[in-house]
Amino acid sequence: MKTLTINIPNTADIDDKEAKMSLASKLYERGKLTLGQAAELAGYPKETFMELLADYNVPLINYPADELDEDIDNAQRYSI
């Protein structure tokens, strides 16, 4: 795992835990980390991290609408 040191201005009024959660949620949202990796980075169990994502306006499931439509079409063709 990489180590990163950043200087956050005191005026940002953010503690270490919130900074980690902000970074982890953004990297998860962008698809750079898996849910488990992001939860580990933030220092939370997966279940807790999943709940906290809503506080950061990050969807738990980030599935593009066009891919979802394609999957629905495929499922309808092969339904029993």
| pLDDT score, position 75 | 87
The domain of 51 spans 16-77
Please tell me what DSSP assigns to residue 57.
T
Closest C-alpha among 2, 46, 39 to residue 24: 39
In a domain, 68, yes or no: yes
Please give the model's pTM, rounded to 2 decimal places. 0.76
Closest C-alpha among 10, 62, 73 to residue 34: 62
The pLDDT tens digits for 8-29 are 998 999 999 999 999 999 999 9
Q: Is the dihedral of CA 54, 59, 61, 65 positive or negative?
A: positive
In a domain, 5, yes or no: no
Domain count, the chain: 1
